């Protein structure tokens, strides 16, 4: 077989604000690949099917010498993210042609990823019957793992049961009422936040959720939020003052929303610090007014990365969550971008919040 074009999305320059397609990233078709003869050196040749665009990718668009929790993109090299692909050839034990794999993949039509990268090196998986493989980069993958691991490890959710009995027309009626704790989930319509909402409702809690459009607010309600609001048109402070105090805050956005949550926290509240997308593209940050309330209210803040908790919770996650997604017990939604050449726009959509659901880049069909 003659060499074929191997389209790639390259990191072109470090942005100062929001990433710009065609400037921050560029689509490149200069590389060719011989699928039958390219040296594997003991590795695996993978055809990319779907790729993820995630908020944290903005953190990777930095000078290479600056350390952070995710490795930097290198100017002139393909960007990379979690994805699903299909094995074309393999010289690696445990991988064979036709296997589906999940893990960190270059934004390229074909690549030879390393299975040996800790946590997110490629692994072979068999999709749950009835569950499309794109779900494994969303609710069935890293975003869902973030929700599940963090909630199980740190939420310590409490649903309080009260027994009410009364006599009416000489008939004893008994009813059980659950008045659980209150949790606020920012970024509630995203793949992390929407699963947190469902986990919280499963545990009997009252859920408040914020999102950035009326469509997203409706999705929060559809997955179980008791109170959902558009933070762009409704005051977050006003909602939390009315519906709080907060026993748990799941933070996907940081900034002024975090400050409002601190102001409306109950004593001994638990804050699960998962992301800060409101700050990723900001040079100036925001002024926090309520930091003194962290000690005044004895708030516990848990900052965590999904990789830290994977050894404890990953096996349970894969036993529980894909089945619930396939059955429809847990709901998720996707926002699809077709074509690797459009991955730069997909990344920007996530940073600006114009996506509705988990952003999925479809690179190829099987």
Q: Given pLDDT bands bounded at 50, 70 and 90, which one contains residue 163?
A: very low
pLDDT for 115: 65
pLDDT for 170: 40
Dihedral class, residue 337 (left if φ above 0, else alpha if ψ from -120 to 50, else beta): beta
Q: Residue 132 pLDDT > 90, yes or no?
A: yes
CA–CA dist 252, 178 (Å, integer) = 27
pLDDT for 37: 95
Residue 133 DSSP label: G
pLDDT for 179: 61
pLDDT for 178: 46
Q: Given pLDDT bands bounded at 50, 70 and 90, which one contains residue 155?
A: very high
**Which range, of 48-57, 132-141, 164-173, 198-207, averages the lowest pLDDT?**
164-173
Paired strand residues for 160 = 179
The 10s digit of each residue's pLDDT in 256-314 is 999 999 999 999 999 999 988 888 787 777 889 999 999 999 999 999 999 999 999 99
Would you list the DSSP string of 34-95? -TTTS--TT-EEEEEEEEE--GGGGTTSS-TTS--SSPPP-TTSB-EEEEEEEEEEE-STT-
The 10s digit of each residue's pLDDT in 217-265 is 999 999 999 999 999 999 999 999 999 999 999 999 999 999 999 999 9
Q: Given pLDDT bands bounded at 50, 70 and 90, which one contains residue 120?
A: confident
Going 21 to 24 to 29 to 33, the CA torsion angle's sign is negative
Closest CA to 68 of 235, 280, 267, 218: 280
Q: Residue 165 pLDDT > 60, yes or no?
A: no
The answer to whether 38 and 112 are in contact (CB under 8 A) is yes
**Which range, of 91-105, 221-235, 273-287, 340-354, averages the lowest pLDDT?**
273-287
CA–CA dist 115, 125 (Å, integer) = 13
Strand 227-230 versus strand 206-211 pairing type:
parallel
The 10s digit of each residue's pLDDT in 174-213 is 334 446 899 999 999 999 999 999 999 999 999 999 999 9
pLDDT for 141: 93
pLDDT for 364: 95
- Between 254 and 118, residue with greater pLDDT: 254
The answer to whether 4 and 22 are in contact (CB under 8 A) is no
Strand 171-180 versus strand 110-111 pairing type:
unpaired
- What is this structure's pTM? 0.89
What is the residue-averaged pLDDT of the chain? 91
């Amino acid at each position: 077989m003659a060499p074929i074009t191997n389209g790639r999305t390259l990191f072109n320059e470090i942005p100062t604000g929001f990433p710009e397609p065609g400037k921050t990233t560029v689509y490149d078709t200069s590389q060719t690949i011989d699928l039958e003869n390219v040296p594997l050196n003991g590795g695996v040749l993978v055809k990319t099917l779907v790729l993820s665009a995630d908020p944290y990718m903005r953190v990777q668009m930095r000078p290479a010498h600056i350390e952070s929790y995710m490795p930097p993109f290198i100017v002139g090299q393909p960007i990379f993210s979690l994805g699903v692909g299909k094995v074309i050839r393999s010289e690696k034990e445990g991988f064979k042609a036709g296997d589906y794999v999940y893990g960190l993949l270059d934004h390229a039509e074909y690549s030879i990823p390393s299975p040996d990268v800790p946590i997110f090196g490629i692994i072979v998986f068999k999709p749950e019957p009835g569950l499309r493989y794109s779900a494994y980069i969303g609710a069935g993958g890293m975003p869902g793992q973030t929700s599940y691991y963090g909630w199980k490890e740190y939420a310590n959710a409490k649903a309080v049961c009260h027994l009410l009995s009364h006599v009416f027309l000489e008939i004893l009626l008994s009813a059980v009422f659950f008045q659980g704790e209150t949790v606020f989930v920012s970024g509630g319509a995203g793949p992390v936040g929407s699963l947190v909402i469902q986990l919280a409702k499963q545990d009997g809690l009252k859920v408040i959720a914020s999102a950035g459009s009326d469509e997203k607010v409706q999705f929060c309600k559809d997955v179980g939020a008791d109170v959902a609001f558009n933070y762009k048109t409704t005051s977050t402070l006003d909602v939390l003052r009315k519906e709080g105090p907060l026993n748990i805050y799941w933070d996907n956005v940081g900034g002024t929303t975090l400050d409002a949550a601190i102001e409306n926290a109950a004593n001994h509240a638990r804050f699960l610090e998962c992301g800060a997308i409101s700050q990723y593209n900001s040079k100036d940050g925001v002024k926090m007014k309520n930091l003194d309330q962290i000690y005044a209210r004895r708030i516990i803040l848990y900052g965590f990365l999904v990789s830290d908790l994977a050894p404890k919770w990953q096996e349970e996650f894969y036993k529980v969550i894909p089945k619930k997604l396939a059955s429809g017990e847990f709901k998720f939604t996707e926002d699809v971008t077709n074509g690797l050449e459009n991955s730069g726009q997909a990344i920007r959509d996530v940073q600006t919040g114009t996506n509705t659901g988990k952003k999925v880049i479809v690179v190829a069909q099987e």
